[in-house]
């Protein structure tokens, strides 16, 4: 695909043209595109493109999901450079399905485009090529596969989307796949959620199904397919094209209308394929296969087992199912489960570049297991930092696509002390803690939801991203699976690798006095994000979350009426304004309050144990000494933190008792005032009665 001007270059060209009084022919305000388009459409076309399944609940959730996040940039971050030292600031390229793309977006597969524009898919394919984005052709096109490929050009980048005929018509499916391969389509997108059209009230109000009309809308892929033509001629006794020439178009059942209904019954057969049927597609398509319409972790895992190269987290823009989950709410869970095993694409709800960026930040993932323990190493090079100790991810590599988590030992200790002293969590809060109500107002929809791919790496934009995501809102109905990731095997391996040190520490800890039991929901601050049930393996393990250049936080303002916004704001305050960036990468002042003043630094316990061991002639290696020192320091910090917590609890209890006493006094005062008011009212009534007499 030919290189295209970067967004910065394009913006500059617009301003340069403005110096010569040249204005763009079309507004750049994306929120105005939809009303402009709807104003030019017929009632039936408007109902088709603007309508959604049922009451539109899924569609509304798609839009509302994006409004719960805000983009939080980091400042003074050095610009990225390529191997030759050139700035990559404006490089938006990425690699998806092994193919280099100029931008992490593509034109989604939208069918029946001729009801919006006379040129239909021809115009769309040309436009995609002109701006350098991938065009995904729909099986429901009003143009043949070959004509779309010609419009997209030899240097255009295109993928093919399949509405999958039943197994009884596998010969037609094979014919379509062969035509797409021959026409230069590089990947196959198989839509799983539309084996029957959704319940769409707008279309039903207009009595309009574009596929059933005898005007060749949405059926040209079938009408130009030689195998389907042969089937039709065998059954009806005449060619489809003969019907178009020799028979009048009859919307009530003429020849063309009959052929259209025959084709629609194949691509929307009313029953689904099975996971075993994926093998058939793999046998007849030699490129990447992507399953479109994945909405659950269990289905994503099955896609991995089936051996496909990618999935699209999508609910068809809310057009197929009412009452569904927002696609964005399911994206992080799915990425966390299978993101390192296949490419994950996204659609449903994107309306602007900021939405695409949020989806990228939520959906991109580094190649490491995010709950593996970090390893402690020493700087060996002759630099000013020689001899200093640091933590890094087990999967840390100097190559793109691996986790680059890095943390100096003293920084890790500071974070641990601050977190323990304040009895705070050191992992990002899960969104399950913040349950925002669904948006109630009406939204609008555009005809073509954009795709959004895995992010360009913040270290090398031409590669897959490494932005780690937080977890998604649990308001949406899930598949019922446990949301924890399954890293047992990885943790067993890590435990085996560190077994000698772990045994040494365990034997030493057995002689230490047991500290008071901490709160059950406390997490070891030196463990990577998650449930942390694998933390005690012998080595302290700081989070393997890198400092991202882009973070998201839940703003807590989801729109709706005033009471909804106030409630949403209170929930956000209670959850410390849930942030997508690691609390360790951007610690809040409250997390570190009084840390330097109250930190336990003397390590009396370690000195006492060392003295006792020395008295008995026991010598320990430097590594064991270091591990023992950390164990003792952790126990002292926990003990000190518990003491501080008890003191805070005592003060809070005292304050509460004082408040209760104050309220009781106030109640008594109000009671006395009420009695006085009643006496006055009684007196006035008696006085009024006397005047009447």
Contacts for 679 with CB less than 8 Å, ≥ 6 apart: none
Contact indicator for 169, 242 with CB cutoff of 8 Å: no
Radius of gyration, alpha carbons of the chain? 32
How many alpha carbons fall within 13 Å on the CB side of residue 492? 4
Q: Answer yes or no: 316 catalytic.
A: yes
Q: Inter-axis angle of helices 255-267 and 226-236, to 10 degrees?
A: 120
**Pairwise CA distance, residues 687 & 689, whole Å:** 5
Catalytic residue, chosen from 157, 213, 316, 553, is: 316
Q: Inter-axis angle of helices 622-692 and 604-615, to 10 degrees?
A: 150
Chain position carrying tokens 């916004």: 565
Pairing state between β 343-346 and 310-313: parallel
**Pairwise CA distance, residues 633 & 646, whole Å:** 20
- E-state strands within 280-384: 289-294, 310-313, 343-346, 375-378
**Pairwise CA distance, residues 368 & 329, whole Å:** 23
**Pairwise CA distance, residues 125 & 383, whole Å:** 55
Compute CA 570 distance to the chain's CA centroid, rounded to the nearest angstrom.
24
**Pairwise CA distance, residues 303 & 294, whole Å:** 9
**Strands of 406-408's sheet, edge to edge?**
375-378, 389-392, 406-408
Listed residue (468, 550, 456, 459) closest to 94, CA to CA: 456
Please identify every residue annotated as catalytic. 316
């Amino acid at each position: 695909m030919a290189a295209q001007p970067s967004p910065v270059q394009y913006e500059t060209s617009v301003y340069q043209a403005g110096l010569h009084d040249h204005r763009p022919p079309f507004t750049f305000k994306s929120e105005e595109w939809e009303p402009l388009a709807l104003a030019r459409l017929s009632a039936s076309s408007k109902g088709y493109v603007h309508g959604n399944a049922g009451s539109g609940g899924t569609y509304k959730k798609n839009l509302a999901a994006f409004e719960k996040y805000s983009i939080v940039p980091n400042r003074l971050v050095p610009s990225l450079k390529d191997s030759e030292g050139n700035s990559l600031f404006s490089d938006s390229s990425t690699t998806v399905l092994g193919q280099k793309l100029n931008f992490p977006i593509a034109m989604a597969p939208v069918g029946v485009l001729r009801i919006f524009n006379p040129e239909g898919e021809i115009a769309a394919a040309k436009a995609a090529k002109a701006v350098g984005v991938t065009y995904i052709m729909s099986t429901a096109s009003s143009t043949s596969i070959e004509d779309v490929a010609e419009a997209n050009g030899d240097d255009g980048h295109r993928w093919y989307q399949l509405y999958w005929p039943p197994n009884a018509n596998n010969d037609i499916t094979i014919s379509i796949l062969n035509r797409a391969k021959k026409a230069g389509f590089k990947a196959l997108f198989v839509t799983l959620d539309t084996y029957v059209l959704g319940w769409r009230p707008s279309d039903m109000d207009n009595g309009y199904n574009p596929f059933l009309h005898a005007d060749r809308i949405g059926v040209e892929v079938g009408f130009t397919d030689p195998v389907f033509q042969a089937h039709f001629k065998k059954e009806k006794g005449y060619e489809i094209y003969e019907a178009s020439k020799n028979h009048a178009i009859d919307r009530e059942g003429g020849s063309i209308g009959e052929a259209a209904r025959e084709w629609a019954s194949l691509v929307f057969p009313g029953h689904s394929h099975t996971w075993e049927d994926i093998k058939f597609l793999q046998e007849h398509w030699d490129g990447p296969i992507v399953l479109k319409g994945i909405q659950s972790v269990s289905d994503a895992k099955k896609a991995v087992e089936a051996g496909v190269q990618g999935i699209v987290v999508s609910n068809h823009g809310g057009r197929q199912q009412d009452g569904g989950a927002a696609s964005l709410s399911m994206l992080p869970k799915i990425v966390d489960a299978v993101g390192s095993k296949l490419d994950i694409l996204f659609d449903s709800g994107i309306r602007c570049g900021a939405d695409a960026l949020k989806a990228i930040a939520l959906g991109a993932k580094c190649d490491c297991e995010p709950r593996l323990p970090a390893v402690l190493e020493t700087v060996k090079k002759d630099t000013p930092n020689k001899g200093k100790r640091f933590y890094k991810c087990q999967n840390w590599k100097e190559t793109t696509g691996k986790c680059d988590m890095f943390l100096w030992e003293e920084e890790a200790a500071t974070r641990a002390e601050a977190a323990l002293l304040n009895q705070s969590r050191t992992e990002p809060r899960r969104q399950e803690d913040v349950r925002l109500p669904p948006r109630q107002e009406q939204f609008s929809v555009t005809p073509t939801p954009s795709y959004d791919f895995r992010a360009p790496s913040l270290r090398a934009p031409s590669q897959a991203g490494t932005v780690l995501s937080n977890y998604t809102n649990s308001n949406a109905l899930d598949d019922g699976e446990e949301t924890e990731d399954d890293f047992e095997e990885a943790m067993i391996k890590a435990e085996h690798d560190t077994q000698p040190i772990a045994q040494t520490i365990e034997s030493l800890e057995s002689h230490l006095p047991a500290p008071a039991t901490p709160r059950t929901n406390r997490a070891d601050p030196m463990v990577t994000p998650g449930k942390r049930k694998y933390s005690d393996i012998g080595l302290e393990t700081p989070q393997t979350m890198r400092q991202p250049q882009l973070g998201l936080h839940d703003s807590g303002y989801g729109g709706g009426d005033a009471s909804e916004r106030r409630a949403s704001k209170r929930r956000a305050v209670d959850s410390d304004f849930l942030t997508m960036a690691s609390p360790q990468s951007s610690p809040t002042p409250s997390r570190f309050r009084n840390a330097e003043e109250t930190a336990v630094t003397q390590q009396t316990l370690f000195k006492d144990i060392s003295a006792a061991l020395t008295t008995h002639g026991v010598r320990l290696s430097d590594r064991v000494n270091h591990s023992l020192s950390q164990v003792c320091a952790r126990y002292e910090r926990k003990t000190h933190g518990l003491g501080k917590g008890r003191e805070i609890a005592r003060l809070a209890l005292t304050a509460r008792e004082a408040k209760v006493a104050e309220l009781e006094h106030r109640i008594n005062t109000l009671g006395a005032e009420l009695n006085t008011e009643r006496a006055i009212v009684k007196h006035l009534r008696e006085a009024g009665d006397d005047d009447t007499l």
